[in-house]
């Protein structure tokens, strides 16, 4: 039995009439860009995050870019972030004309290591941009203390962490968070999507201005903005899917529990800290035999992927910022050892067994 890494066709089949009806309403009203479906989704998603407000945009990358811009990040600034994330985290910093300054990750959660942040602060440092990697929150309390002490801004990359919690508080933990609704995320659009979640009305007003050409009122452009508006169809789909998110996250957590039970001892299983609620956007295990395991699973048609095989400081695009191979050993080691196993709410018991049995068989053979 083949087991895909994720199964978006199945998800659509399970909610086809609901999704089609939501999209049909947008088409009937010709509300193609922003509009009532997006307004409604913004309200509901803010509620889901226990935040005051949400502004929908057309990708997670755009959300990060606008949040940093609206917080005043500009040319010459430095933003401290993790090298072990999707490239968009660093790109958003670069899009502001600022420089991403990487700090190594904790080997347990693979999120930014707060103990290493202060050493990276310079006169130019303006913000810290932690990523809640794979759906596990970064260690926010010490990060908030450092931010406070050095008067730095905090913006959270929540693109993998819809519904994740830290000390009982939903992400964004510190106030401002950026989400992606890329189709594969825990909450995914039928295309690109993203959102900035926040509590401060001035900040959110700035984000909304930047999102749509700096225009307010009509034909008055207060600043040079962007075209980052969410499409009406995506707002409708997301509003409909949001009703299922809690239940989907619970299913992911249940699958992770089963994987943990079956795989602990043969691979390094993901950690969920006592103060955290992990939402398992990805279920990532670690092993020194990663490449061989990957080949074996490929041969069995068991979906898998590596998030991420090359930390950002070792990517060609960031070769000129003076942060080279060898500087971030925890991230570099993780890049060689991580492998993501099939994880999506609709996974069946049989599929989970298939994955676990294959992994066990691989390690049994490897021992001989
Ligand atoms: C997906 C993702 C992004 C970017 O989101 P897009 O919607 O693809 O632009 C940024 N950061 C992280 C950690 C992500 O996983």
For residue 85, which atom of ligand 1 is closest to its CA?
Answer: 13
DSSP state of 344: -
Which two three-digit tokens encode residue 346?
Answer: 């609709």
Q: How far away, in angstroms, is 220 Cα from ligand 1 center?
A: 32
Instruction: Tokens 């942060």: give the residue.
Output: 323
Pocket residues: Cβ below 6 A from ligand 1: 59-61, 85-86, 88-89, 131, 157, 159-160, 180, 182, 192, 194
Torsion angle of alpha carbons 213, 204, 147, 105, nearest 10°?
A: -70
For residue 61, which atom of ligand 1 is closest to its CA?
Answer: 9
| pLDDT given for residue 56 in this prediction | 98
Which two three-digit tokens encode residue 124?
Answer: 């130019």
The two beta strands, 276-277 and 169-170, are unpaired
Q: How far away, in angstroms, is 136 Cα from ligand 1 center?
A: 15
Which two three-digit tokens encode residue 193?
Answer: 């999507």
| pLDDT given for residue 193 in this prediction | 98
Q: Which of 182, 196, 238, 284 to mutate to test the pocket of ligand 1 (most atoms within 8 A of CB)?
A: 182
Collect all residues with Cβ–Cβ distance below 8 Å to 178 and sequence separation of at least 6: 60, 63, 64, 67, 92, 155, 156, 157, 158, 159, 194, 195, 196, 197
Write out the E strands in 245-367. Answer: 276-277, 283-286, 338-341
Q: What is the C-alpha to C-alpha distance for residues 337 and 289, in angstroms, rounded to an integer?
A: 7
Question: What is the separation of C-alpha 302 from the centre of its chain, rounded to a whole number of angstroms?
Answer: 23
Q: What is the C-alpha to C-alpha distance for residues 176 and 193, in angstroms, rounded to an integer?
A: 17
**For each successive 10 residues of the chain (368 residues), what is the average pLDDT?**
96 97 98 98 98 98 98 98 98 98 98 98 98 98 98 98 98 97 98 98 98 97 97 98 98 98 97 98 98 98 98 96 93 98 98 98 91
Q: What is the C-alpha to C-alpha distance for residues 204 and 132, in angstroms, rounded to an integer?
A: 22
Which two three-digit tokens encode residue 64?
Answer: 């990060």
Collect all residues with Cβ–Cβ distance below 8 Å to 242 and sequence separation of at least 6: 41, 44, 45, 48, 187
| pLDDT given for residue 368 in this prediction | 75
pTM value is 0.98
Q: What is the C-alpha to C-alpha distance for residues 52 and 330, in angstroms, rounded to an integer?
A: 36
Q: How far away, in angstroms, is 218 Cα from ligand 1 center?
A: 31
Q: How far away, in angstroms, is 260 Cα from ligand 1 center?
A: 26
| C-alpha distances out from residue 214 to 86, 95, 202, 222, 224, Å | 28, 17, 14, 5, 6
| pLDDT given for residue 321 in this prediction | 87
| pLDDT given for residue 77 in this prediction | 98
Instruction: Provide the edge-to-edge strand list for the sheet that holds 165-166.
Output: 169-170, 165-166, 276-277
Q: How far away, in angstroms, is 90 Cα from ligand 1 center?
A: 10
Q: What is the C-alpha to C-alpha distance for residues 12 and 139, in angstroms, rounded to an integer?
A: 35
Q: Are the CB atoms for 255 and 283 separated by under 8 Å?
A: yes
The two beta strands, 165-166 and 156-157, are unpaired
| pLDDT given for residue 367 in this prediction | 82
């Amino acid at each position: 039995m083949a087991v895909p890494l994720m199964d978006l066709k199945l998800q659509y089949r399970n909610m086809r009439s609901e999704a089609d009806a939501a999209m049909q309403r947008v088409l009937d009203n010709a509300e193609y860009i922003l509009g009532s479906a997006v307004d409604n989704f913004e309200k509901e998603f803010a509620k889901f995050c226990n935040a005051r407000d949400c502004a929908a945009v057309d990708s997670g990358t755009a959300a990060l870019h606008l949040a940093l811009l609206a917080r005043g990040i500009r040319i010459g600034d430095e933003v401290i972030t993790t090298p072990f994330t999707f490239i968009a985290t660093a790109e958003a910093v670069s899009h502001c004309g600022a420089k991403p300054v990487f700090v190594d990750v904790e080997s347990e959660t693979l999120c930014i290591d707060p103990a290493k942040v202060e050493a990276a602060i310079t006169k130019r440092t303006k913000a810290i941009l932690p990523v809640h990697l794979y759906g596990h929150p970064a260690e926010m309390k010490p990060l908030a203390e450092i931010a406070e002490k050095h008067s730095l801004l905090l913006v959270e990359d929540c693109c993998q962490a819809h519904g994740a919690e830290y000390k009982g508080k939903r992400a964004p933990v510190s106030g401002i968070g950026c989400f992606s609704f890329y189709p594969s995320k825990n909450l995914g659009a039928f295309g690109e999507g993203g959102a900035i979640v926040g509590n401060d009305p001035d900040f959110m007003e700035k984000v909304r201005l930047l999102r749509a050409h700096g225009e307010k009122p009509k034909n008055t452009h207060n600043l040079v903005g962007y075209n980052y508006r969410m499409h009406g169809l995506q707002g409708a789909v997301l509003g409909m899917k949001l009703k299922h998110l809690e239940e989907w996250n619970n299913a992911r957590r249940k699958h992770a529990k089963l994987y943990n039970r079956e795989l602990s001892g043969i691979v390094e299983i993901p950690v969920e800290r006592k103060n955290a609620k992990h939402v398992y956007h990805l279920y990532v295990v670690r092993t020194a035999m990663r490449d061989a395991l990957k080949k074996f699973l490929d041969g069995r048609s068991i979906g898998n992927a590596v998030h991420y095989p090359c930390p950002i400081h070792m990517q060609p695009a960031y070769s000129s910022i003076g942060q080279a191979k060898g500087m971030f050993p925890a991230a570099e080691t993780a890049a060689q050892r991580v492998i993501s196993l099939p994880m999506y709410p609709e996974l069946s018991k049989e599929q989970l067994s298939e994955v676990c049995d294959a992994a066990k068989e691989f390690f049994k053979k490897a021992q001989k």
